[in-house]
Amino acid sequence: MTGDADLLLQLFHRYGIHAFRLVNGRYAATVATGQCVYLATDHAGSVPLYIRPGRGEVFASTEAKTLARHGGPMGLPVPSARRVRRLAGVYQVPAGTVLAIDLKTGTTDAHRTWAPALSRRIVDEDEAVQSLREVLDTAVRSRLGQDGPPLVVLSGGIDSSGVAALAHRAAGALDTVSMGTETSDEFPQARVVAEHLGSHHRELTLQTSDLLARLPHTIWAAESLDPDIIEYLLPLNSLYGTLKGPQRRILTGYGADIPLAGMHREDRLPDLDSAVAYDMETFDGLNEMSPVLSTMYGHWTTHPYWDREVLDHLVSLEAGLKRRYGRDKWVLRAAMAELLPHETVTRPKLGVHEGSGTTSAFSLILTEHGVPEESVPSAKRQVVQELFDRTVVNGEHPDHVSTWDVVGEVADQLKERRTVPSARRPVGSPQLHAAPAPGLQPAPEGD
């Protein structure tokens, strides 16, 4: 055997579709046997897989835009898959799923190979901390590669710093990189960790105008319609595009917030666990970890917190280990306490979209175009949808799509919706006041 594909085929020949329940990895796979085609995604759907099935044939791709420009059949319905906006007959295979398509009949059967844990485990503090440190250490070590020092994206928060500390302990030498803008950065916090670990550290500063100019590229790469997710991914995609030098394998701390409820400032444990359950139920299809975000610039990214074993471990811990002694993500902070400076372990949570100024910059260009603050969230969604339609559906190259032009168009549409022309009326007739028109609403999924 010469690679992962050979290993997967050997497992498939022995176990059938159950082979995908044995694999802890990052993949999208297609296996053809006679009249049946099997299309599989890893547990997290971290490599998106899209299909356009027809009678007697199936077109598959890891990017929807490829199928958008394919002159193939309109496709047969796939009830167990998710339709892609404005791409008739194109579906996304759910995370942790094998779709078995009969080429003769066109029928599809879905087989789940992974699902987030619904039960929770009560364990004592020492066991929780030690077991997390071990499973995360294994995940980091398995992602280091053999091509020189690992490179870790470092913000100075507990998530990325924990990955950096474990990578340093495993590899000895370590490269780290941080990104900010002229309005906001986390350079001082990242520098504390870099100096503590002795890493070769770089700081990259982008102008917010350059950051926002990459918005079409981020949406083109992620093929996501969620504006919050796009705000998380924009600074990372921009960082990958700014890195100079040879192609790199890049480790990130991305994704820890979902199983640890890091973005939820919630002290009540039932509500905190409800947030974890909801986020784990709804992450599929957001494409947060699509490799295209980095491979478009020649780099490969990998995310230890979404290793299958790490994810199973974190999700199943009871909420009291995630919020404890007044601290979010307590179990992770405790697991990293011996490897990192105290100020890093106790530093409050700050999202990459906040630390880089991405969210505020996106909001600012909308308000500068006359969008009222209360309409900014819906305007962001409309901008993301328009950029998706242009770059993914219509095939426009992101280099040729202007963020500012699209923002201006959306702002004008909102202004038209808010402006209700007064009806002509006879002199002396009572004046009627029209209620303001509602703001733009997102189109239904699949339109």
87 in any annotated domain:
yes
CB atoms near residue 393 (< 10 Å):
19
Boundary (domain end) residue, out of 376, 394, 421: 376
Confidence check: pLDDT of 117 > 80: yes
Query: pLDDT (tens digit, 9 = 90+) per residue, 2-43?
Result: 688 999 999 999 999 999 999 999 999 999 998 999 999 999
Confirm if 119 and 280 have CB atoms less than 8 A apart.
no
Binding-site residues = 4
Query: pLDDT (tens digit, 9 = 90+) per residue, 374-427?
Result: 999 999 999 999 999 999 999 999 999 999 999 999 999 999 988 755 444 444
Query: pLDDT (tens digit, 9 = 90+) per residue, 143-161?
Result: 998 888 999 999 999 999 9
- Residue 146 corresponds to which tokens in the numbers above? 């053999």
* 396: annotated active-site residue: no
* 232: annotated active-site residue: no
Confidence check: pLDDT of 369 > 90: yes
Work out the end-to-end distance of the chain between its first and last CA atoms, rounded to an integer number of angstroms. Answer: 44
428 in any annotated domain:
no
Strand order in the sheet with 57-61: 57-61, 50-54, 91-92, 82-83
Domain span at residue 104?
4-112
Overall pTM > 0.85: yes
346 in any annotated domain:
yes
Confidence check: pLDDT of 433 > 60: no
Q: Where are the alpha helices (DSSP H) in 186-256?
A: 187-197, 208-213, 215-222, 227-242
Assess whether 192 and 148 both reside in one domain. Answer: yes
Confidence check: pLDDT of 288 > 70: yes
Helix (H, G, I), strand (E, B) or coil at 108: strand
| Mean pLDDT, residues 237-265 | 93
Q: Phi-psi bin for 96: left (phi > 0), alpha (psi -120 to 50), beta?
A: left
CA distances from 137 to 45, 119, 262, 341 (A): 22, 24, 20, 18
384 in any annotated domain:
no
405 in any annotated domain:
no
Q: What is the pLDDT of residue 311?
A: 97
407 in any annotated domain:
no
Q: Is the dihedral of CA 184, 189, 195, 197 positive or negative?
A: negative
Assess whether 247 and 164 both reside in one domain. Answer: yes
* 322: annotated active-site residue: no
Assess whether 252 and 354 both reside in one domain. Answer: yes
* Annotated catalytic residue within 322, 329, 349, 380: 349
CA distances from 315 to 76, 195, 309 (A): 36, 32, 10
Assess whether 169 and 91 both reside in one domain. Answer: no
Q: Give the domain CATH number at 50.
A: 3.60.20.10
CA neighbours within 13 Å on the CB side: how many for 369? 24
Q: What is the pLDDT of residue 121?
A: 96
pLDDT band of residue 72 (cuts 50, 70, 90) is low
Give me the number of domains the chain comprises: 2
What percent of the chain is predicted at pLDDT more than 70? 92
Assess whether 107 and 213 both reside in one domain. Answer: no
Binding-site residues for L-glutamine = 4
Query: pLDDT (tens digit, 9 = 90+) per residue, 294-322?
Result: 999 999 999 999 999 999 999 999 999 99
* Annotated catalytic residue within 38, 50, 91, 254: 254
Assess whether 97 and 130 both reside in one domain. Answer: no
CA separation for the pair 200, 97 (Å, rounded): 40
Q: Give the domain CATH number at 321.
A: 3.40.50.620
